[in-house]
Amino acid sequence: MSSAARAVDETLLTARPEWQALQRHLQQIEIRHLRELFAADPQRGQRFSVEGAGFYFDYSKNRITDETLRLLLALAQACGLSERINAMFRGEPINTTERRAALHVALRAPRTERILVNAIDVVPGVHTVLDRMASVANRVRNGEWIGQSGKRIRNVVNIGIGGSDLGPVMVYEALRHYSDRAIAMRFVSNIDGTDFVEAVRDLSADETLFIVCSKTFTTQETLTNARAARAWCIDALGDQGAIAKHFVAVSTNAEEVARFGIDTDNMFGFWDWVGGRYSIGSAVGLSTMLAIGEENFRALLAGFRAMDEHFLHAPPARNLPWLHGLIAVWNNNFLGASTVAVLPYEQYLKRFPAYLQQLAMESNGKRVTVDGVAVAYETAPIVWGEPGTNGQHSFYQLLHQGTRLVACDFIGFCRALNPLGDQHDLLIANFFAQSEALAFGSAADEPHRNFDGNRPSNTILGESLTPHSLGALVALYEHSVFVQGAIWNIEPFDQWGVELGKALAQRVAAEIAGGSELAHDSSTDALIRRYRALRQKS
Ligand code: F6P
- Residue nearest atom 6 in ligand 1 by C-alpha distance: 276
Q: Mean pLDDT, to the nearest integer, of 185-196? A: 98
Distance in Å, CA 163 to ligand 1 centroid: 6
Distance (Å, rounded) from C-alpha 315 to C-alpha 297? 29
- Whether the CB of 279 sits within 6 Å of ligand 1: no
Q: Which of the residues are catalytic? A: 362, 393, 502
Question: Which residue from 166, 216, 219, 356 has its CB within 8 A of the most atoms of ligand 1, so it is best to mutate?
Answer: 219
pLDDT digits (tens, 9 = 90+) for 348-376: 999 999 999 999 999 999 999 999 999 99
Atom of ligand 1 at shortest range from CA of 166: 8
- Residue nearest atom 16 in ligand 1 by C-alpha distance: 214
Q: Are strands 374-375 and 8-9 parallel, antiparallel or unpaired?
A: parallel
Distance (Å, rounded) from C-alpha 523 to C-alpha 521? 6
Cα–Cα distances (Å) from 285 to 165, 195, 249, 294, in that order, read 10, 21, 12, 11
Res 538: pLDDT:
58
Res 536: pLDDT:
76
Q: At what angle do helices 499-514 and 220-237 cross, to 10 degrees?
A: 50
Examine residue 112 and say whether the peptide bond preceding it is cis (omega within 30 degrees of 0).
no
Closest CA to 64 of 436, 323, 310, 451: 323
Distance (Å, rounded) from C-alpha 283 to C-alpha 267? 9
- On the 0-12 / 13-18 / 19+ scale of CB atoms within 10 A, 533 is exposed
Please give the full DSSP string across 349-407, using - where no structure is assigned: GTTHHHHHHIIIIIHH--SB-TTSPEESS--SPEEE---TTGGGGTTHHHHHHSSS-EE
Distance (Å, rounded) from C-alpha 525 to C-alpha 538? 22
Torsion of CA 295, 296, 301, 302, to 10 degrees: 80
Residue with the bigger pLDDT between 361 and 7: it is 361
Res 4: pLDDT:
55
Distance in Å, CA 297 to ligand 1 centroid: 23
Distance in Å, CA 69 to ligand 1 centroid: 36
Residue 470 CB: number of other CB atoms within 10 A? 25
Distance in Å, CA 153 to ligand 1 centroid: 28
Q: Is the pLDDT of residue 197 over 50?
A: yes
Atom of ligand 1 at shortest range from CA of 284: 14
DSSP strands (E only) in 61-163? 116-117, 120-121, 155-159
Q: Are strands 184-188 and 267-269 parallel, antiparallel or unpaired?
A: unpaired
Q: Mean pLDDT, to the nearest integer, of 30-58? A: 98
Closest CA to 242 of 256, 229, 258, 255: 229
Cα–Cα distances (Å) from 278 to 30, 108, 215, 530, in that order, read 36, 12, 12, 40
514: confidence class by pLDDT, cuts 50, 70, 90? confident
Lowest-pLDDT range of 176-190, 197-211, 400-414, 513-527:
513-527
Distance in Å, CA 362 to ligand 1 centroid: 10
The answer to whether residues 199 and 265 touch, using CB atoms and an 8 Å cutoff, is no
Residues sharing a CB contact under 8 Å with residue 475, sequence separation 6 or more, in sequence order: 53, 108, 303, 304, 305, 306, 307, 308, 311, 321
Distance (Å, rounded) from C-alpha 451 to C-alpha 232? 57
Question: Which residue from 95, 212, 214, 215 has its CB within 8 A of the most atoms of ligand 1, so it is best to mutate?
Answer: 215
262: confidence class by pLDDT, cuts 50, 70, 90? very high
- Whether the CB of 216 sits within 6 Å of ligand 1: yes
Res 12: pLDDT:
85
Q: Is the pLDDT of residue 390 over 60?
A: yes
Please give the full DSSP string across 487-522, using - where no structure is assigned: HHT--TT--GGGHHHHHHHHHHHHHHHH-----S-H
Q: Mean pLDDT, to the nearest integer, of 5-14? A: 68
- Whether the CB of 283 sits within 6 Å of ligand 1: no
- On the 0-12 / 13-18 / 19+ scale of CB atoms within 10 A, 530 is exposed
Residue 210 CB: number of other CB atoms within 10 A? 26
Note the pTM of the prediction, 2 decimals: 0.97
DSSP helix/strand/coil, 202: coil
Q: Mean pLDDT, to the nearest integer, of 96-121? A: 95
Distance (Å, rounded) from C-alpha 442 to C-alpha 403? 17
- Whether the CB of 275 sits within 6 Å of ligand 1: no
- Whether the CB of 495 sits within 6 Å of ligand 1: yes
Q: Mean pLDDT, to the nearest integer, of 224-247? A: 96
Res 7: pLDDT:
61
Q: Is the pLDDT of residue 236 over 60?
A: yes
The residue type found at 19 is W
Q: Is the pLDDT of residue 8 over 80?
A: no
Element (H, E) at 197: helix 193-200
- Whether the CB of 215 sits within 6 Å of ligand 1: yes
Distance in Å, CA 104 to ligand 1 centroid: 16
- Residue nearest atom 8 in ligand 1 by C-alpha distance: 163
- What is the chain's mean pLDDT, rounded? 96
DSSP helix/strand/coil, 273: coil
The residue type found at 270 is F
The residue type found at 30 is E
Q: For 141, phi and psi rounded to 5 degrees?
A: -70, -30
Q: For 6, phi and psi rounded to 5 degrees?
A: -65, -40
